[in-house]
Amino acid sequence: MRIKELILQSWDALARNRLRSILTMMGIVWGLTTVVLLLGYGESVSQGVLTAFIGIGNNVIIIWQGQTSMQAGGQRAGKRIFFKYEDIQAIRDEAPLVRLVSAEWDDGVAYKYGDKVITVQSKAIQYPYGEMRKLNIAEGRYFEESDFTEHRHVLIFGPNAAKKVFGGRDPVGDQVTINGETWDVIGLLKLKIQDSSNNGPDNENVFMPFESMSDINNQRDPSMFVFQPVTALQHKAALA
């Protein structure tokens, strides 16, 4: 009986103060809606920031050539260190904490398409690079192991790099000329959100097999290494 009386009294109060009741209910609804919208917006922003942050790769270490800061092995401090092609295989054979490793060389390359020549930042890489650096393909294909062993003249374009060279044309299946030699475009990258980069965003770069690079500039040795430890907790141990 008491519950029935409470319901009747509440209904009577609402009926006698309709405007206040309506405004109160609208305030509650708007408050709940605002909370839901803010939570959704915050989640979207957080996800966007995380996506951009790992755009360069997840759990990736990049090592550049440099010089020694201390005396070592009887050599003076300040000695220049240059990487060799053989160092890559040595890392694969002797560094069990390294899961994946790739040589890399970066420079601007002049691409001739039709009657125009455009210089675009380019990267010579090895097969594991795509997995480490999240090179996702929008059209065409990624490199195959045979592209490297057979020194094939094949290219993958970032979306913005493709616009510079091909304009609005579909680049996959087309060809460009580098130093008088023909190269086939086999892939186009997905547009990537990336807030950190190594010599320019991937969207702006062209990628080629590292072993084919010597056909352009007689360069055999890498300018940097990109590798991924077995787990994120083993970063320091892998560097040692």
Question: Are 125 and 75 members of one domain?
Answer: yes
Total of domains in the chain: 2
**CA–CA separation, 157 and 206 (whole Å):** 5
Residue 96 is predicted with a pLDDT of: 87
Mean per-residue pLDDT pooled into runs of 10, the chain (240 residues) = 65 65 68 69 52 60 80 72 89 88 93 95 94 93 95 96 94 95 96 73 94 88 89 59
Residue 78 is predicted with a pLDDT of: 73
Question: Are 41 and 80 members of one domain?
Answer: no
Enclosing H/E stretch for 31: helix 18-53
Question: Are 6 and 83 members of one domain?
Answer: no
Question: Are 129 and 14 members of one domain?
Answer: no
Q: Answer whether 174's CB lies under 8 Å from 157's CB.
A: no
Question: Are 49 and 71 members of one domain?
Answer: no
**CA–CA separation, 64 and 107 (whole Å):** 14
Question: Are 164 and 89 members of one domain?
Answer: yes
Question: Are 112 and 222 members of one domain?
Answer: yes
Residue 69 is predicted with a pLDDT of: 73
Question: Are 31 and 112 members of one domain?
Answer: no
Question: Are 32 and 122 members of one domain?
Answer: no
Residue 144 is predicted with a pLDDT of: 95
Domain around 12: 2-53
Question: 121, exposed or middle or buried, with CB in 10 Å at 0-12, 13-18, 19+?
Answer: middle
Question: Are 30 and 76 members of one domain?
Answer: no
Residue 219 is predicted with a pLDDT of: 84
Question: Are 100 and 163 members of one domain?
Answer: yes
Question: Are 162 and 212 members of one domain?
Answer: yes
Encoding tokens for residue 18?
């309709």
Block residue for tokens 């991924």: 228
